[in-house]
Chains A and B, each alone.
Chain A
Amino acid sequence: MSTPLLQVENLSVSFNTEDGVVKAVDGVSWSIEAGQSLGIVGESGSGKTVGGLTLLGLTRSGRTTVSGRAMFEGSDLVSMGDASLRAVRGKGIAMIFQDPLSSLHPFYRVGDQIIEAIQAHSQTPKKVARARAAELLALVGIPDPKARLDAYPHEFSGGMRQRAMIAMALSNEPRLLIADEPTTALDVTVQAQILELLDRLRRELQMALVIITHDLGVVAETAEQVAVMYAGRIVEQSPVNELFSQPMHPYTWGLLRSIPKLTGPRDEALLPIPGRPPSLISRPKGCAFAERCAYAEDACRLTDPLLATTADGRRSACLIPHERRMAAWPALAAGGTEADALKVVRGTK
C-alpha cells in the first residue's frame, strides 16, 4: 500500500479555559489517499471542526495543546514551524468554511481576494493572476467570470459566495481540500449544486477532499469513507455504502434513525437520540456514549472501548460483540423499536 497523502495519528487538541481543560479532540486517527474523499460526521462539539482547523495550525495559541502527528507529504503538520506551515496553507491543503459571507473579507473585491491567494505562494504578476482568477471563477461555474472579479462579496448570492470561496481555495492547486460544513449556511437547492461541484472538482483535479458535516445526507453524496465522531473521538469508520446499509455503532444507528423518512406517515414522530453529549472537561468513565445508549451494559460504564478494526477494514468502538451488533441493525432498519433491537443484542431473541 502506498503512503497516504495525509495520515493523522492519535491527534489530540485541548483548550485551557477558565472552567478547565476542554479536550475537544481526543486521540483521533484517520488517513486519506490522494484524490479520495473522507466525510467526518458528528454533532456540534464532537471535535470535527477543531480537528480540521488544527491540521492547518489555525487553532495554535498559548491556550491550545496539540499532540499526535499529522503526516502530510512526508512532514508533520503538528510539529511544523509556523513559517513552513504557512507554506502548506492554501498550497498543499486548502480549507473552506461554513458561512461564505463572513468568510470573505467584506471590504475587498472577490477577484482581489483570489489574486491575493495566488500571490501568497508565487511571484505571479498581477495581470497573470487576474486571468487565472477569472479561470478559477469559470471553473466553479460562476457566469461572466471576468466581470464578476470586480464584485464585492455582498453583491453575490450565498451559493456564488461559496463558489468564490472554493475558487480561492483551488487557486494554488492544493492536493487536499478540507470543507468545513460547506453547505450548512446555504439553501437546500444550492446545497446540492455545491456538493456536486466539490465532487466534480475532486475527480477532475485529483484533489483529496475531507468534508466535515453534521449532515449524513452530505456525506452520502460526496464521501467514499465516513468517520463518525462523538465527544472528540471516532466511534465508527466505514465506507459510505456500508455505513448506511450496515452501521456498526449504536450512535450511528441513532443518527440514521433520526433522519425523517419520506415514506412514513406524515404525523410520525421524529426519533431523536435522548440526552446530550458529555462534558469535554470531565469525560465520564467508560464509553462516552453509554449514558445515551439504549444497549449499554454495566461494562460500558466502566471500560473505555477501543476503536477496533474488523476483517473488512472498517472500524468501530463498542464493547458489545461485533456479531451481535451486526444482527441488531436489520431489526432497527426494518422499523423495529429499540426494545426489539435490544433483545437481539442481548441474545434473548
Chain B
Amino acid sequence: MARYIARRLLWTVVLMFAVSVVTFVIFYVLPSADPAALRAGRHASPQQIEEIRHKYHLDKSLLDQLSFYFKGILLHGDFGISYVNDQPVAKLVFSRLPATISVAVGAAVLWLLSGVAIGIISAVRRHSKLDRTTMSLALVGISAPVYWLGLVALYLFADDIGLIPLFGGSGSYQPITEDPLAWLNSMILPWVVLAVAFAAFYSRLLRGTLIEVMGEDYIRTARAKGLPERTVVMHHGVRAAITPIVTAFGLDLGALLGGAVLVEIVFNIPGIGRLAYDAILHSDLFLIQGTVLLAAFFVIGANLVVDVVYAYLDPRVRYE
C-alpha cells in the first residue's frame, strides 16, 4: 500500500507538470491581449512595454518561457507574478483559499448528510409517497442551474434585496477569523444553493444502489440471522451501497476546492473560483496557471484519497 501511494504521488507531479504545460500552450495558441501591454497598464509608452516584455521573458520563445516558469517554481517556490494585481501568485491564491474552503466544505457536509439520509429513506420506502415526492424534487434539483438557483435564493432570502430577508446576501462574506457569526450568516445561502444539486444527485445514486444491494443474498442472510431490520439496512445494506457515494464525494469535493466558480460569482465571494474567473478575463497568465495548478492538485489528490479510502472500505480491493 505504501509503495502504491508513493508511486501515485510521483504520478501527481508528472500530471501537474503536464497540466501546466497544456495551460501554457492553450494560453499562447488562443488569441488574447498582449500580456506585456496589460502589465504596463494604461498610457504606457512602447518603450516601457518593451522593457516589461524583456523583464518577464515575454520576448523569449515558448519553450524558454516554460523553463523560466518551472525553474522559478522548483528553485525558488515562485509561481510568478499576477500582471493585474502586481502580487505573487502564490500569495494571492492562498489568500483566497479560505473562502473557497468555507464554501466547498460547508456545502459538502450539507449535501452529504441530506443526500444520504434522503437516499436511504427513499430506498427503504420505495414507491411510497415520500419516495416519489423526494425523487421528483431531486430531479428538479439536479436540473436547476446553480446560477439561477443562486439568484432565486438571493431574491427570496438575502438580507438586502430579499422578500424575506433572512441571511447574508451577495458580497456579505467575512473571514471566519474576523467574525464567525457574520461568516456563518454569509455562508448559509451559498451552501444551500451549492448543496441542492449534489444532494439531489447523491440521494438518487444511493437510492438506486441501496435498492440493488437490498436484493443481495447477504441481506437475506442478515435477516435469517434474526437481526433487526434497522441493523440489516444500516449495517449490511448501506455499508455495501455507500462505496459509489464515497467515490463521488471525493471527486466532487476535490473539484470544488479548486474553485466553486458559479457560486462564488453569484454571491460575490472572494475565493479561488472568482480569482480564476478574473484572471481569465484579464489574460493574467501566471495567475491562470496558479489557479489551474491548484485545481489540478485538488482533483488529483482527491482521486488518490478516494482510491486509498476505497481499499479500506472494500477489503476485496488491494493495490500493489
Is B316 a contact of A154 with CB atoms below 8 Å?
yes
Give the total of A residues in contact with B, Cβ under 8 Å: 29
CA distance A109 to B316 in the complex (A): 11
In the complex the two chains form, is B240's CB within 8 Å of A86's CB?
Answer: no
| Complex interface residues of chain A between 40 and 93 (CB less than 8 A to chain B) | 53, 56, 58, 82, 86-91
Cβ-defined contact, A120 with B236, below 8 A: no
Do A105 and B314 touch (CB < 8 A)? Answer: no
Q: Which residues from B are CB-within-8-Å of A102?
A: 216-218
Pairwise interchain contact B226-A89, C-beta atoms closer than 8 A = yes
A56 touching B314, Cβ below 8 Å: no
Decide if B226 touches A107 in the complex (CB within 8 Å): no
Given A106-B218, A152-B315: A95 and B240 interface contact (C-beta under 8 Å): no
- Cα A104 to Cα B224 with chains together (Å): 12
Question: B132 at interface (Cβ–Cβ under 8 A)?
Answer: no
Binary contact track B16-41/A, C-beta < 8 Å → 1, others 0: 00000000000000000000000000
Q: Is B225 an interface residue (CB 8 A)?
A: yes
Distance (Å) between the CB of A185 and the closest chain B CB? 11
The binding surface of chain B is classed by DSSP as helix
Known interface pairs A58-B220, A97-B217; A152-B316 also in contact (CB < 8 Å): yes
- The distance from the CB of A84 to the nearest CB of chain B, in whole angstroms, is 11
Is B46's CB within 8 Å of the partner chain A?
A: no
Residues of B within 8 A of A172 (CB): 226
The verdict on A322 contacting chain B, using a C-beta distance below 8 Å, is no
Residue A121 is within 8 A (CB to CB) of chain B in the complex: yes
Q: Which one of B223, B224, B240 has the greatest number of beta carbons of chain A within 10 Å? A: B224
Selected from A58, A104, A154, the residue in CB contact (under 8 A) with B223 is: A58
With A105-B240, A107-B314, A152-B315 as given contacts, are A56 and B218 in contact (CB-CB < 8 Å)?
no
A168 within 8 Å of B (CB atoms) = yes
The CA-CA distance from A165 to B199 in the complex, in Å, is 38
A346 to B240: give the CA distance in the assembly, Å.
60
Q: Which of A120, A152, A172 has the most CB of B within 10 A?
A: A120
Q: Which of B218, B313, B316 interacts with A104 by CB under 8 Å?
A: B218
Shortest distance in angstroms between A302's beta carbon and chain B's nearest beta carbon? 41
A154 and B218 CA atoms in complex are apart in Å by 13
A215 at the interface (CB under 8 A from B): no
Closest Cβ of chain A: how far from B21's Cβ, in Å?
Answer: 41
- Are B225's CB and A89's CB within 8 A? yes
Query: How far is A314 from B4 in the complex, measured between Cα atoms in Å?
Result: 66
Q: Does any Cβ of A come within 8 Å of B143's Cβ?
A: no
Q: Assess the B226–A103 pair: CB atoms within 8 A.
A: no
A103–B218 contact, CB under 8 A?
A: yes
Q: Is the CB of A87 within 8 A of B218?
A: no
Contacts of A94 in B (CB 8 A): 224
Residue contact B316 to A91, C-beta cutoff 8 Å: no
Contacts of B164 in A (CB 8 A): none
Known: A105-B240, A106-B316. A86 touches B228 (CB 8 A): yes
- Which of B221, B228, B315 lies at the interface centre, i.e. has the most chain A CB atoms within 10 A of its CB? B221
Q: Are B313 and A107 in contact (CB under 8 A)?
A: yes
B316 neighbours in A (Cβ, 8 Å): 106, 152, 154
Alpha-carbon distance A105/B220, docked complex (angstroms): 10
Say yes or no for A133: interface residue by CB 8 A criterion. no
Inter-chain CA distance A102–B215, complex, in Å, is: 11
Contact (Cβ within 8 A) A120 B218: no
Residues of A with C-beta under 8 A to B220: 53, 58, 97, 103
Asked if residues A116 and B221 are in contact (CB atoms below 8 Å), the reply is no
Q: Decide yes or no whether A117 CB sits under 8 A from chain B.
A: yes
Q: Are A106 and B226 CB-contacts (below 8 A) given A58-B220, A152-B315, A152-B316? A: no
Do the beta carbons of B226 and A99 come within 8 Å of each other? no
Using a CB-CB cutoff of 8 Å, which residues 224-249 of chain B contact chain A?
Answer: 224-229, 236, 239-240
**Contact partners of A154 in chain B: CB under 8 A:** 315-316
Query: Please, how many angstroms separate the alpha-carbon atoms of A121 and B225 in the complex?
Result: 9
B261 CB–A CB distance under 8 Å: no
Residues of B within 8 A of A106 (CB): 218, 240, 314-316
Q: How far is the CA of A230 from the CA of B239 in the complex (A)?
A: 39
Q: A120, B240: Cβ atoms under 8 Å?
A: no
Q: Which of A56, A82, A99, A121 contacts B224 (CB 8 A)?
A: A56
Give the residue name and chain of the A residue nearest to B315 (CB).
Answer: A152
Whether B222 is near chain A, meaning CB under 8 Å from some CB there, is: yes
Min CB gap B67→A, angstroms: 50
Question: Using an 8 Å CB-CB cutoff, how does the interface string of B205-218 with A read, 1 for contact, 0 for none?
Answer: 00000000000111
Min CB–CB distance B68 → chain A (angstroms)? 51
Question: How far, in whole Å, are A91 and B236 apart by their CA atoms in the complex?
Answer: 20
CA–CA, A82 and B229, complex, Å: 10
Q: For B239, list chain A residues within 8 Å (CB).
A: 105, 107
Instruction: Please measure, in the bound complex, the distance between the C-alpha atom of A308 and the C-alpha atom of B287, giving whole angstroms.
Output: 90
5 contacts between A and B (CB under 8 A): A58-B223, A90-B224, A103-B218, A105-B240, A154-B315
A interface, CB within 8 angstroms of B: 53, 56, 58, 82, 86-91, 94-95, 97, 99, 102-107, 116-117, 120-121, 152, 154, 165, 168, 172
Top 9 A-B pairs, shortest CB-CB distance: A90-B226, A89-B226, A102-B217, A90-B225, A105-B218, A103-B217, A117-B225, A95-B224, A152-B315
Given A104-B221, A107-B240, A165-B221, 18 more contacts at CB 8 Å?
A: A53-B220, A56-B224, A58-B224, A82-B229, A86-B228, A88-B226, A95-B224, A105-B218, A105-B236, A106-B218, A106-B316, A107-B239, A107-B314, A117-B225, A120-B226, A152-B316, A154-B316, A168-B221
